[in-house]
Structure 1
Amino acid sequence: MLKLDHFSVEADGASSTVTEILPEWHKHQRFGIVIQEPMGHVGAGLLSQAAIAAFFEDLFKNSWADVPVPNEDLPGPSQYPGTYPEIYAFHVGRRHGTLSPADFVPNYKEVLVEADPMRVLQEINGRGITILAVPEGEERTHKFFWPEHRAFLWRTECVLSYSASGRVADPDISITSLHDEPEANVDRLLDPMESAAPFRVINPERTKVEAEGVVFEGDTLDDLLRWTADIDMRHHDVTEEERAAAAAARNAIRVNGRSTETYRRRDANYALRRLVR
């Protein structure tokens, strides 16, 4: 499980923390990332995972004890209490590669939306996004239906711009991985088929899969088989050339197996100008 100490953070050139660059987490906090190019989300792989770590930190410290069902009676794998993080990806214009290996699960948390700024805003508002990552680039002013516009301005607590390369032009925040897990998760984004391979080994009776310390059988096996089928279906979201380019960009920001990504703090109005390319 991702933890806050898996990441080193700098803000304005000084040492910082995930909890200082993101708003205080609570059960209604929602992270979203707008994706506009093939594998673009890889450039914010550490940011997405830092948000996941903040989600889990809050979940187990402050709110999971409120669930009125004992862990042993919960549906799903008994080895893992908790639930999947509230994170959402918005694929603009086309699908840009699956994010399910990075816990964007179930698959409705990846939203395909046409390249129309009003429609992108509707989808973001519909998921109650409070923390939004948008790709940096040329800003364009758009006209929005005023209730959607006001709702976004009211709800949005944090906007960060990112680059598909992992490095923005004029950063004020950086995140560096300090642990193997964030790097392994980025590699899973780059090659989802490889990441799914251990979960395809089913027993001769075809009733159980054991992978990465988890036993999948019954309903959880059905869920797993749907996930691997989705990985297969989504493999052709991007070309091999696009996947290779994303891998090369990642290698360019890795030193001794550790990546550093950079971002810039923005306001909600900047996000509205960057919803489409």
Structure 2
Amino acid sequence: MHSSSLRGHDFTLTASQGAVTHQQWFQGFQNTERVGLVAPNGYDGVGAVNLVMAYVTAFYDTYRATGEKFYAYPDFYSFQYCQPVAEYTDFDIWPEHKNVAVAGGAVEMLDAINDRGITVLLVPDREPTNPTYFKAQLESARRIVKQCYAYTFAGQVDGADLLIETTNRSLVEWADSVFDLPSAADEAVWQERRAWWRTHVASSPRLVQAYRLIQFEEALTLL
């Protein structure tokens, strides 16, 4: 709950139609929404820290609106093909079991997403594939998933629909913690990615990340 200190004014949002407030973008958000962050290599999800934390802030806003004390964590998850998994605890993806190791490929990934009732899906913008999903599996996902975004490790996507900026350095620190090496991980790769992140992204006083709203069918090709 450390991120419950964040407020909407910590984020500057620009949509395709122009500037919007955090409250406007998340109008109608309910604290039962379930965000799923697909981070195949473990560390990829740092490219979506602004979006995830904006959703986390919307979650806590629903509690703050009641004026009552609360102790709650959002039902947000990360899904990774690596094992052991990277920890997204500082994204308030907690307890640890919400960082999910997926064995297999896209079909198994969609099973994991369905099993947790994900309503908002964040997927890496990468070379698409054409997996063969099961019909019942697809129908389950279509019933539940309401919105999909594409993101990249670098924080920039072609055809962006949403730009989120922040000068709150806490988000940079929380993202950097994802690179804390899981046991049995390829240390050279992880340290190279961390060095790139620190040099090209974290060094800026303003963390700027772009996202593209995509249809569910496109998201299926990016799992």
Q: What range is the shorter-chain TM-score in?
A: 0.7 to 0.9
**Matches for 1:127-206 after TM superposition, within 5 Å:** 127-191=116-180
Q: Of 4, 12, 16, which aligns to 1:12? A: 16
Amino acid corresponding to residue 104 of structure 2 in structure 1: A
State the SS of the aligned residue for 1:139: coil
Cα deviations by residue, 1:51-82 (Å, 9 ceiling, x for unpaired): 111111113325x85xxxxx5xxxxxxxxx32
Output the CA distance in 2 between the equivalents of 1:260 and 1:100. 21
Identical aligned residues as a percent: 23
Tell me the residue number matched to 1:211. Answer: none
Tell me the residue number matched to 1:270. Answer: 218
Amino acid corresponding to residue 252 of structure 1 in structure 2: H
**Matches for 1:172-251 after TM superposition, within 5 Å:** 172-191=161-180, 234=182, 236-251=184-199
**Contact 2:12/2:21, CA 8 A, preserved across alignment:** yes
Cα deviations by residue, 1:226-261 (Å, 9 ceiling, x for unpaired): xxxxxxxx3554515423423423432356522101
Cα deviations by residue, 1:132-186 (Å, 9 ceiling, x for unpaired): 1000012222222222211211211110000011112332211111323323322
Tell me the residue number matched to 1:122. Answer: 111
**TM-score normalised by the chain length of structure 1:** 0.71
Q: How many residues align?
A: 219
Output the CA distance in 2 between the equivalents of 1:30 and 1:19. 18
Q: Per the alignment, do residues 250 and 153 of structure 1 end up closer, same or farther by CA in structure 2, a change over 3 Å counting? A: farther
2:207 matched to 1:259? yes
**TM-score normalised by the chain length of structure 2:** 0.87
Q: Of 54, 59, 68, which aligns to 1:55? A: 59
The alpha-carbon deviation at position 274 of structure 1 amounts to 0.9
Q: Which one has the largest radius of gyration?
A: 1
**Contact 2:48/2:151, CA 8 A, preserved across alignment:** yes
Tell me the C-alpha RMSD between the 2 structures. Answer: 2.3
Q: Per the alignment, do residues 3 and 114 of structure 1 end up closer, same or farther by CA in structure 2, a change over 3 Å counting? A: same
Amino acid corresponding to residue 183 of structure 1 in structure 2: V
Amino acid corresponding to residue 134 of structure 1 in structure 2: V
Output the CA distance in 1 between the equivalents of 2:22 and 2:40. 25
Q: Per the alignment, do residues 140 and 265 of structure 1 end up closer, same or farther by CA in structure 2, a change over 3 Å counting? A: same
Amino acid corresponding to residue 180 of structure 1 in structure 2: R
Structure 2 segments unaligned to the other structure (5+ residues): none
Structure 1 segments unaligned to the other structure (5+ residues): 66-70, 72-80, 193-233
Output the CA distance in 1 between the equivalents of 2:11 and 2:133. 37
Output the CA distance in 2 between the equivalents of 1:167 and 1:161. 10
Q: Per the alignment, do residues 2 and 238 of structure 1 end up closer, same or farther by CA in structure 2, a change over 3 Å counting? A: farther
**Contact 1:44/1:164, CA 8 A, preserved across alignment:** yes
State the SS of the aligned residue for 1:27: coil
**Contact 1:177/1:259, CA 8 A, preserved across alignment:** yes
